[in-house]
Amino acid sequence: MKIKFYYVLLVLLLLSLGLVACGEAAPTSPSNGVATATSNVAAVTTAPIQTTTPNVVTLPTTTPLPTTAAAATTTTASQSTTAAATTTTASQSTTSAATTAPPVVETIKPKTASSTTKVNNSVRLAYVDGGSLYVIEVATKVKKLLVQGGQQTIQGDPTWSPDDSQIIVALQSKTKVAGTSRAELYTVNPESGETKRLLTAQPDNASDTEPVWSPDGTTLAFTRLFPTTTTEPLRGRHEVWLVDANGQNPRKLADGQQPAWSPDNLRLAFVTDGIIKQGLSIPQGNALHLINAKGQNEWEPLTAAKVPNDLSKFNYPFGGAAYILQYPVFLEGGKTLGFTTIGATGLVLTINSSTGGDLKMWSGQPEGGFGRAFAQPKGGSLLMYESFPPSGVRVVSLVDVTKTPGGDKPALQNFGAIGKGEALFPAWSPDGSQIAYASTSTNGSATSANATLVIGKVGSTDTTELVKGTITGVDWSN
């Protein structure tokens, strides 16, 4: 009986120990999946708090980026927060990529010396009237005096910078030597009229003229003239120079004059000086040259002597006999070079800018001549040039160099005519659809006194008169 009693007590004791053991094992069991998930969630919610803290710190470095870029970065951070703890590296990598974006933004800024944002979006013309510089708004015809002529007068055309933030002019002033003068380049603020000398150093006996902006607005090319002396065989020695838009880093590019930029900023065309022969008043025997903007690879595609005297293949009955090649310009996106000549017969010619071949004649003046040539903007195919026909009425003419050439073909369009007055000092509009010029009723005059600044349209006889004055130079804002 006692044995049975002890047996019952032993069984009850074992059952009690078993129940206690089962009650303690539940919270510590390593095989319980719910407990594992709870532990991992705690790890994930802790890790993103640590990894997003650097994101908040580095956000100011990405503020220059567009809003859409910041939104993309936020989305990535959100996704990494809901991922496993192993995605922390990916989140850090995304943050690193975002912080490297500002240097990329800086590298694609335009290479211009001044802001490319136009201060004034109105269409304006800069023009020289009696040696003074004015600007006039085309729409309102309201003009403003920028530089008053007097002791210093403006020589040649004013030239707008590509972003319209400044105008370059050559100011002619007297030197210390009696009876002599020289030209210096100045920048003019078109809003305030403030002037600033572009170059701080210039030889006393040199004149800087014919400034031309590079298409990207970073560099100016110009002609530096050293006057003729009794010991020099040339009528003045010319050099082509470059200078940064802020007036820094002036450097000689080549011997020559009348520089013109290619549309891609990489090359310049210019002409060399000729030699004045006995009994002649103008130089002869110059050449057309090309050079890259670094001053390398200069070559000579054409000389005046190589212009054929027999132009019958262009249905032109008179001989060429070119003395001087002048005013080269790039056409058709830089593929073609157009220019004019002085000689027994004045000519308008084009050649291939890469080979120097494919010579074509577009117009001739057996008893007259031609002046400057101007390329249609935006890589266009229209060549504009100043024409001085035997009639004595100076006109501005257009030809399309993609058409069939020929000395017997009339110009595509003429501005100015007998009975209508002359057209002088032309300038293309930025889109190549219009030209501005000085129109005067005084045929064959040596000056542009009592002229009217006029806008004419390509392919139309319509004109718009802006202002009257003694106009001697014009340029459009961009």
142 near 124, Cβ under 8 Å?
A: no
Q: What percent of the chain has pLDDT over 90?
A: 53
Give the residue with greater pLDDT, 453 vs 180. Answer: 453
Residue 49 has pLDDT above 50, yes or no: no
Separation of alpha carbons 371 and 373, rounded Å: 7
* Per-residue confidence (pLDDT) for residue 343, from 0 to 100: 85
Q: What pLDDT shows up at residue 283?
A: 74
- Widest CA span of the chain, in angstroms? 160
Q: What one-character-per-residue DSSP string does 142-190 give?
A: -EEEEE--SSSEEEEEEEE-TTSS-EEEEEEEE-SSTT-EEEEEEEE-T
Per the CB < 8 A criterion, the answer to whether 158 and 128 are in contact is yes
Q: What is the Cβ-side half-sphere exposure of residue 167, based on CA atoms within 13 angstroms?
A: 32
**Residue 335 tokens, joined:** 């593929």
249: left (phi over 0), alpha (psi -120 to 50) or beta: left
The residues pairing with 322 across neighbouring beta strands, listed in sequence order, are: 343
**Spatial separation of the C-alpha atoms in residues 166 and 129, rounded to whole Å:** 19
Query: Which residues pair with residue 387 across a beta bridge?
Result: 370, 395
How far is 382 from 389, CA to CA, in rounded Å? 20
Return d(Cα 297, Cα 96) in angstroms, integer: 44
Q: In this model, does residue 138 exceed pLDDT 50?
A: yes
Which pLDDT belongs to residue 277?
Answer: 73
- Does residue 220 carry a pLDDT above 50? yes
pLDDT of residue 75: 34
Q: What whole-number distance in Å separates Cα of residue 67 and Cα of residue 73?
A: 10
Q: What is the structure's pLDDT at 419? A: 79
Task: Work out the pLDDT band at 26, boundaries 50, 70, 90.
Answer: very low
**pLDDT recorded at residue 2:** 47
The mean per-residue pLDDT over the stretch 322-335 comes to 95
Contact 123, 477 (CB under 8 A): yes
Query: What pLDDT was estimated at residue 28?
Result: 38
75-129 pLDDT, tens digit each: 333 333 333 333 333 333 333 333 233 332 223 233 433 444 555 568 999 999 9
Is domain 124-476 annotated with CATH 1.10.10.10?
no
Question: Amino acid letter at 390?
Answer: P
258-295 residue pLDDT tens:
999 999 999 999 999 988 777 666 678 899 999 999 99
d(CA 312, CA 314): 5
Least confident of 24-28, 103-107, 353-357: 103-107
User: What's the predicted TM-score (pTM) here?
Assistant: 0.73
Evaluate whether 438 touches 474 at the Cβ level (below 8 Å). yes
Considering Cα of 136, then 141, then 144, then 148, what sign does the dihedral take? positive
Model confidence pLDDT, tens digit, residues 175-203: 766 667 789 999 999 999 999 999 988 88
In contact, 295 and 253? CB cutoff 8 Å: yes
How large a percentage of the chain has pLDDT more than 70? 69
pLDDT band at 229 (very low <50, low <70, confident <90, very high): low
Tell which wins on pLDDT, 409 or 55. Answer: 409
DSSP notation for 313-348: GGT--S---EEEEEEEEEEGGGTEEEEEEEESSEEE
Cβ atoms of 212 and 221 closer than 8 Å: yes
pLDDT, average across residues 414-441? 92
Radius of gyration of the chain (CA): 38
pLDDT tops 80 at residue 353: yes
Instruction: Check whether 351 has a pLDDT greater than 70.
Output: yes
User: pLDDT at position 370, please?
Assistant: 94
Which single residue is written with the structure tokens 């890589």? Answer: 379
Flag whether pLDDT at 235 surpasses 70: no
Report which listed range, 10-19, 257-266, 341-350, 402-411, is most confident.
Answer: 257-266
Q: Does the pLDDT value for residue 451 go beyond 50?
A: yes
Amino acid 391: pLDDT: 75
pLDDT surpasses 50 at 217: yes
Cβ neighbours of 94 (radius 10 Å): 17
Per domain, the residue ranges of the chain are: 34-109, 124-476
Distances (CA, A) of 431 to 122, 167, 334, 418, 474: 14, 19, 17, 29, 16
The three-state secondary structure class of 15 is helix
- Spell out the long-range contacts of 334-338 with Cβ–Cβ below 8 A and sequence spacing 24 or more: 334/262, 334/263, 334/264, 334/267, 334/379, 336/381, 336/401, 337/269, 337/288, 337/301, 338/373, 338/375, 338/383, 338/385, 338/401
